[in-house]
């Protein structure tokens, strides 16, 4: 008896429902910024989270090369709690805390681990976590792992959240957690109202700024700074894999919080530190992000213009002002059909299907980057409309 045959059956079911995911070999175009190479074809890259176009910035690559040349080691070879806490970790964390106007910061291997480890360190049995239904999977997984009560409120529905907070008076500790910019919808969280509820109900507030750092705030600090609520957010999480163009993540907050996480965040304690070259790359990227005003302004302009062009053509564009522009296709099959048509027009953009998004709201998500020019995106908008017609999404 083949005890693993159930997997074949499950995979067949995924395939039949157009829900199977596969890995496609992808390279970057050396000559064209904001483009990628797939199957021998050069495609406009509207898939990546490289919001500021820094993933191929020469100064960041040089900082990483410099660390390798200085023989810092290709790997850290130990957890930070042992001997993996090499330079420039401490300088980087001091700079991150100053940038976020908080007391302290802690670098993690990636955003997934930062969310998982932090939530689990903050809450446990007898506590309650109030989480927006559209929060990132790493938040959901952190809550499940923590064994705290998982209270999901309707997306951005602060009345629903308040109703649930009222009912939770038996919880020992309460944590409200939200993405600031939602990764699959591109809209933003009602941070002012969440701060008010945090105060009224004595809850901690954690904000995941994965898609907002680099993009919002006077020096790219994120949406908490742009909305002037950074003092009230107890825990700020950000990742270096998106606008920073590198890899890794941080949790920033009070000195007490960071001291606690150094002791209790298991992905930090029980996992090897990021390679020193990566920490050096992040450090350089942080300097660039803080002064990348032109890139931020350009990104904001192209995002507004691109949204407007698609909406005017009759596509179902989800509301927001971020560089994440989702267009609803409906069924998973329709979203895949649109992707295929886009590829024929030289555009790469991912179909986002259930269970990542609710059934019936499968979509194609366009992610813009400061590396894209006005002209390239204007042409892309026209191609997207043609592709939508071909795919039968636009009558």
Ligand X SMILES: Cc1ncc(COP(=O)(O)O)c(C=O)c1O
Residues making contact with ligand X (CB under 6 A): 110-112, 115, 136, 138, 179, 183, 208, 210-211, 239, 241, 249
Choose between 21 and 71: whose C-beta lies nearer to ligand X.
21
Q: How many other C-beta atoms can be found within 10 angstroms of the C-beta atom of residue 230?
A: 21
DSSP 84-103: ---TTHHHHHHHHHHHHTSS
CB of 324 to ligand X, least distance (A): 9
Choose between 223 and 385: whose C-beta lies nearer to ligand X.
223
- Burial pattern 92-127, b for ≥16 Cβ within 10 A else e, equals bbebbbebbebebbbbbbbbbbbbbbbbbbbbeeeb
Q: Bridge-partner residues for 208, per DSSP?
A: 179, 237
Choose between 145 and 311: whose C-beta lies nearer to ligand X.
145
Q: How many other C-beta atoms can be found within 10 angstroms of the C-beta atom of residue 49?
A: 20
Choose between 76 and 388: whose C-beta lies nearer to ligand X.
76
Query: Positive or negative CA dihedral for 83, 84, 86, 88?
Result: negative
CB of 82 to ligand X, least distance (A): 23
Sequence-separated (6 or more) residues with CB below 8 Å from residue 277: 64, 65, 67, 68, 72, 74
CB of 89 to ligand X, least distance (A): 17
- 71 burial (CB, 10 Å; 0-12 / 13-18 / 19+) is exposed
CB of 251 to ligand X, least distance (A): 12
CB of 351 to ligand X, least distance (A): 16
CB of 185 to ligand X, least distance (A): 11
Sequence-separated (6 or more) residues with CB below 8 Å from residue 382: none
Helix (H, G, I), strand (E, B) or coil at 49: coil
CB of 200 to ligand X, least distance (A): 26
Residue 342 CA to residue 394 CA, distance in Å, equals 13
Choose between 208 and 334: whose C-beta lies nearer to ligand X.
208
Torsion of the alpha carbons at 308, 310, 313 and 315, rounded to the nearest 10: -120
CB of 135 to ligand X, least distance (A): 7
Q: Give all strands (DSSP E) within 226-334, no chain letters.
A: 235-239, 249-253, 324-330
Q: Give all strands (DSSP E) within the chain, no chain letters.
A: 27-28, 35-38, 41-45, 104-108, 128-132, 149-153, 174-179, 204-208, 235-239, 249-253, 324-330, 347-348, 351-352, 362-367
Q: Which residue is nearest to ligand X (CB)?
A: 111
CB of 51 to ligand X, least distance (A): 12
Structure tokens at 272: 């090897």
CB of 249 to ligand X, least distance (A): 5
Choose between 207 and 371: whose C-beta lies nearer to ligand X.
207
- 278 burial (CB, 10 Å; 0-12 / 13-18 / 19+) is buried
Residue 113 DSSP label: H
Residue 369 CA to residue 367 CA, distance in Å, equals 7
């Amino acid at each position: 008896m083949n005890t693993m045959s159930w997997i074949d059956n499950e995979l067949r079911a995924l395939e039949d429902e157009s829900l199977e995911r596969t890995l496609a070999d992808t390279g970057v175009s050396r000559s064209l910024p904001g483009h990628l190479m797939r199957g021998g074809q050069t495609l406009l890259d509207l898939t990546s989270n490289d919001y500021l176009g820094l993933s191929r910035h020469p100064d960041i690559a040089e900082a990483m090369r410099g660390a390798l040349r200085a023989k810092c080691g290709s790997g850290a070879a130990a957890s930070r709690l042992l001997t993996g806490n090499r330079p420039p970790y401490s300088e980087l964390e001091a700079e991150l805390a100053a940038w976020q106007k908080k007391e302290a910061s802690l670098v993690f291997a990636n955003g997934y681990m930062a969310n998982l480890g932090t939530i689990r360190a903050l809450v446990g049995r007898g506590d309650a976590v109030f989480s927006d239904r559209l929060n990132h999977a790493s938040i959901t997984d952190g809550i499940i792992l923590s064994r705290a009560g998982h209270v999901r409120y309707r997306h951005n529905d602060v009345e629903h959240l308040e109703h649930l907070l009222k009912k939770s008076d038996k919880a020992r500790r309460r944590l409200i957690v939200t993405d600031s910019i939602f990764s699959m919808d591109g809209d933003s969280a009602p941070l002012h109202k969440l701060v008010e509820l945090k105060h009224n109900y004595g809850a901690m507030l954690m904000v995941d700024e994965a898609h907002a750092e680099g993009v919002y705030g006077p020096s790219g600090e994120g949406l908490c700074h742009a909305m002037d609520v950074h003092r009230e957010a107890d825990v700020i999480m950000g990742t270096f894999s998106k606008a920073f163009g590198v890899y890794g993540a941080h949790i920033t907050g009070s000195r007490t919080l960071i001291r606690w996480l150094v002791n209790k965040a298991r992905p930090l304690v029980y996992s090897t530190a990021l390679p020193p070259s990566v920490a050096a790359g992040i450090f350089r990227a942080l300097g660039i992000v803080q002064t990348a005003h032109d890139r931020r302004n350009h990104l904001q302009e192209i995002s507004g213009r691109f949204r407007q062009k698609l909406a005017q053509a009759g596509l179902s564009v989800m509301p927001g002002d971020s560089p994440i522009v989702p267009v609803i296709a409906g069924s998973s099959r329709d979203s895949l059909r649109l992707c295929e048509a886009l590829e024929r027009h030289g555009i790469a953009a991912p179909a986002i299907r259930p269970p990542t998004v609710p059934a019936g709201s499968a979509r194609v998500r366009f992610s813009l980057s400061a590396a894209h020019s006005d002209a390239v995106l204007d042409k892309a908008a026209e191609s997207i409309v043609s592709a939508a017609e071909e795919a039968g999404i636009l009558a």
